[in-house]
């Protein structure tokens, strides 16, 4: 039994390391950066929304815009990555608590940014299952953060650290 526990722990460590490597890989960071920097404004563009609707319905898009295609491709890559992680967590392949301790805040932010696009694509395709494992991760991440406002061990002293450069956050940052 002890050997099995050690084997499972080793597998969990390897899984978390592999996830960390994938999410910090240069191609994924660049893909996410494109989504983060362009999606919100693109969703305000009726042409982009028409493009997404056509693609979700497996139809030829009304505009063969290369920028639309690049952004949609990036969104699909990001969404698929979190969809796969959701499956691994939901099926118990990756320890839920360990995963959420590390990635819950990331999942929530990324899902919220992509939520309107996911909703539009679900409606256009008629597939409510689209990115449901990504949504699952977002829901359990919110719940986990509500239950675990801090994961620092109770009763353990903290380091006395101070920011020597106090910052006044712009109103846009306070809202996030």
Render pLDDT for 17-47 as a digit per residue (tens, 0 to 9): 777 778 778 998 999 999 999 999 999 999 9
At 149-165, the pLDDT tens digits run 888 888 999 999 998 88
Nearest to 82 by CA among 104, 97, 49: 104
d(CA 166, CA 87): 41
Residue 10's pLDDT is 63
Residue 168's pLDDT is 75
Is a pLDDT exceeding 70 seen at residue 119? yes
Residue 3's pLDDT is 61
30: how many CB neighbours lie within 10 A of its CB?
Answer: 10
At 54-99, the pLDDT tens digits run 998 877 777 778 999 999 999 999 999 999 999 999 998 888 998 9
68: how many CB neighbours lie within 10 A of its CB?
Answer: 21
Is a pLDDT exceeding 90 seen at residue 125? yes
d(CA 105, CA 151): 13
Residue 154: C-alpha distances to residues 28, 148, 150 (Å): 35, 12, 9
Within 13 A of 6's CA, how many CA atoms are on the CB side?
3
Identify whether the C-beta of residue 134 lies closer than 8 Å to the C-beta of residue 76: no
Q: Cβ neighbours of residue 79 under 8 Å, at least 6 residues apart?
A: 114, 118, 131, 134
Which tokens belong to 169?
A: 């956050």
Note the helical H segments in 44-95. 46-56, 66-90
Residue 114: C-alpha distances to residues 12, 108, 153, 163 (Å): 28, 10, 33, 33
Say which residue the tokens 């699952």 belong to: 136
- Please indicate whether residue 57 or residue 121 has the higher confidence score (pLDDT): 121
Average pLDDT, whole number, for the chain? 87
Give this prediction's pTM: 0.81
């Amino acid at each position: 039994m002890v050997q099995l526990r050690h084997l499972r722990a080793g597998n969990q460590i390897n899984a978390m390391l592999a996830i960390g490597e994938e999410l910090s890989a240069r191609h994924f960071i660049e893909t996410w950066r494109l989504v983060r920097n362009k999606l919100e404004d693109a969703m305000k563009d009726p042409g982009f929304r028409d493009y997404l609707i056509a693609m979700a319905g497996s139809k030829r898009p009304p505009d063969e815009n290369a920028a639309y295609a690049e952004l949609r491709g990036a969104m699909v890559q990001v969404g698929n990555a979190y969809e796969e992680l959701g499956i691994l967590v939901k099926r118990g392949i990756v320890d839920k608590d360990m995963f959420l301790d590390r990635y819950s805040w990331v999942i929530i932010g990324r899902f919220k940014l992509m939520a309107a696009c996911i909703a539009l694509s679900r409606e256009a395709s008629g597939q409510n299952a689209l990115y449901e494992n990504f949504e699952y991760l977002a829901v359990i991440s919110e719940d986990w953060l509500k239950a675990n406002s801090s994961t620092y061990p109770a009763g353990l002293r903290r380091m006395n650290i101070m920011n020597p450069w106090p910052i006044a956050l712009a109103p846009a940052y306070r809202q996030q």
